[in-house]
């Protein structure tokens, strides 16, 4: 299958998906989300593939967020649809995949990029990685499951601080928080993930599928995800959203009216 924004390679029993939009720091747009869905679906149906690694092209970014220019003029209804479709097509899809997905986080993982990494079954970061959910600086909230998965991974208080400050944390702090499992050098990131994937691939794929399902059930609160989608959409009707996105696209500091 041909992709415009991805590189997909198989090194049996491992599949590697690389988001490749270097001019946009691998930011997610609708086309990339659709391509990721198709790539994950194809690798899941490939009986030779036991584990999938997801990473970003280059050393600067895993995925540096969503492509804001694509939705800056959306209405509330379009915002709700954006979040709901994205969660269903990619983020929930990855989380519930029958094969383990390891996020190899190289560089920036911000906004939708961090949400994508959190949807993976676990994460390994290079020591130059930076992670954050900056959406409130745009007059938004995380809309791809970030308000739900981040507290599950690092606890409510730390998640509140990360989301409300819109700040970034480095790989060392992410390891301390439990947001990532390991931190390695950029040069050894992929090989480290491949070794982990190799160890996983020796085990029963049927048992692994059931383990993923069982673990996920314990953390799934569908009401929380639905509330996030609705609140995300509501933000699109606010003056703060208009100011935040306009300021971002014009590369200036936002002056939020608070309404």
Measured distance CA(42)–CA(49) in Å, rounded: 10
Measured distance CA(243)–CA(184) in Å, rounded: 39
Pair type for strands 51-56 and 14-19 = parallel
Q: Check residue 26 and give its pLDDT.
A: 97
- CATH numbers and ranges of domains, the chain: 6-187 (3.90.226.10)
Q: Check residue 235 and give its pLDDT.
A: 97
Q: What are the catalytic residues? A: 115, 135
Q: Check residue 1 and give its pLDDT.
A: 82
Classify residue 196 as left (phi > 0), alpha (psi -120 to 50) or beta: alpha
Q: Check residue 59 and give its pLDDT.
A: 85
Q: What are 130's strand-pairing partners?
A: 108, 170
Q: Check residue 54 and give its pLDDT.
A: 98
For the chain (length 259 residues), average pLDDT per consecutive 10? 95 97 95 98 98 96 93 95 97 98 98 98 98 97 98 98 98 98 98 98 98 93 93 97 94 93
């Amino acid at each position: 299958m041909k992709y415009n924004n991805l590189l997909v390679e198989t090194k049996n029993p491992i599949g590697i998906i690389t988001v490749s939009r270097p001019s946009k720091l691998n930011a997610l747009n609708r086309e990339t989300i659709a391509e990721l869905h198709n790539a994950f679906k194809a690798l899941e149906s490939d009986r030779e593939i036991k584990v999938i690694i997801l990473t970003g092209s280059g050393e600067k970014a895993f995925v540096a967020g969503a492509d804001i220019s694509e939705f800056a003029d959306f209405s509330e209804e379009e915002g709700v649809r954006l979040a709901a479709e994205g969660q269903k097509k990619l983020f929930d899809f990855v989380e519930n995949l029958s094969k383990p997905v390891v996020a190899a986080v190289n560089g920036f993982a911000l906004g939708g990029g961090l949400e994508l990494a959190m949807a993976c079954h676990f994460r390994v970061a290079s020591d130059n990685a930076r992670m954050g959910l900056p959406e409130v600086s745009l007059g938004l909230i995380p809309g791809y499951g970030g308000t739900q998965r981040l507290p599950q991974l690092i606890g409510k208080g730390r998640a509140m601080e990360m989301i409300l400050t819109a700040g970034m944390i480095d790989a060392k702090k992410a390891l301390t928080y439990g947001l990532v499992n390991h931190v390695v050098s950029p040069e050894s990131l992929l090989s480290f993930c491949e070794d982990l994937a190799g160890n996983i691939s020796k085990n029963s794929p049927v048992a692994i599928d059931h383990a993923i399902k069982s673990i996920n059930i314990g953390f799934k609160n569908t009401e929380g995800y639905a509330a996030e989608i609705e609140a995300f959409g509501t933000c699109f009707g606010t003056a703060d959203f208009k100011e935040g996105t306009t300021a971002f696209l014009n590369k200036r500091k936002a002056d939020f009216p608070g309404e």
